[in-house]
Amino acid sequence: MPLLVNNRNLVLIGFMGAGKSTVGAELARLLDYRLIDLDHLITERAGCPIREIFAQEGEGAFRELETATLKTLASLNRCVVATGGGIVGRSENWLAMRRLGPIVYLEVAWTTLNRRVLGDRERPLADQEDGGTRLRNLYESRVPLYRQADLILDCRNDSPRQVAERIVAGLES
């Protein structure tokens, strides 16, 4: 049964650097949906960048804000929701995401993710000076969670546009 049903939304999940926002923008264009970037909404709500939320209030406070912001989306339709990489850590987030619509995991090779995000100062969990060991462990611990998505899309070396087209094809089949 096709997963792409009128008036629902699409939720993109995946590790930091998987391209959720860029692929999300292409998907929104392709489907004529609105793009909602959850991290962007969180920073608006907090009035400061994510790195500052982590530095001043800690990761726990960020996770509370992330869940609360996700829950505000419940009445939306025809939106592509690009989430942050850690959204998969709480079961209540899964319930909220499943209510929005089909969940798509953007699967990208670890070497690519590592190259894209290690040392990124705007991503507190990637801004580490241990050569990437903790980041790798975080990635490994999350893969089984990401794989609970309705659709797993192996992004290979495709452009964001190509990935978006393959998502639509995957959801329609």
**Using rule CB under 6 A, residue 80 touches ligand S3P:** no
Is there a contact between 93 and 87 (Cβ–Cβ < 8 Å)? yes
Residues 34-53 that bind ligand S3P (CB under 6 A): 39, 50
**Using rule CB under 6 A, residue 26 touches ligand S3P:** no
Query: For residues 130 and 172, which CB has a smaller minimum distance to ligand S3P in the complex?
Result: 130
Amino acid at 85: G
Query: Buried b vs exposed e over 84-105: b needs ≥16 C-beta within 10 Å?
Result: bbbbbebeebbebbeebbbbbb
**Using rule CB under 6 A, residue 125 touches ligand S3P:** yes
Nearest Cα neighbor of 137 from 119, 155, 110, 156 is: 110
**Using rule CB under 6 A, residue 19 touches ligand S3P:** no
Instruction: Please choose, out of 4-12, 73-81, 120-128, 148-156, the segment that lies near ligand S3P by the rule CB under 6 A.
Output: 120-128
Query: For residues 19 and 102, which CB has a smaller minimum distance to ligand S3P in the complex?
Result: 19
Strands (E), 94-135: 103-107
Q: Applying CB under 6 A, which residues contact ligand S3P?
A: 16, 20, 39, 50, 84-86, 123-125
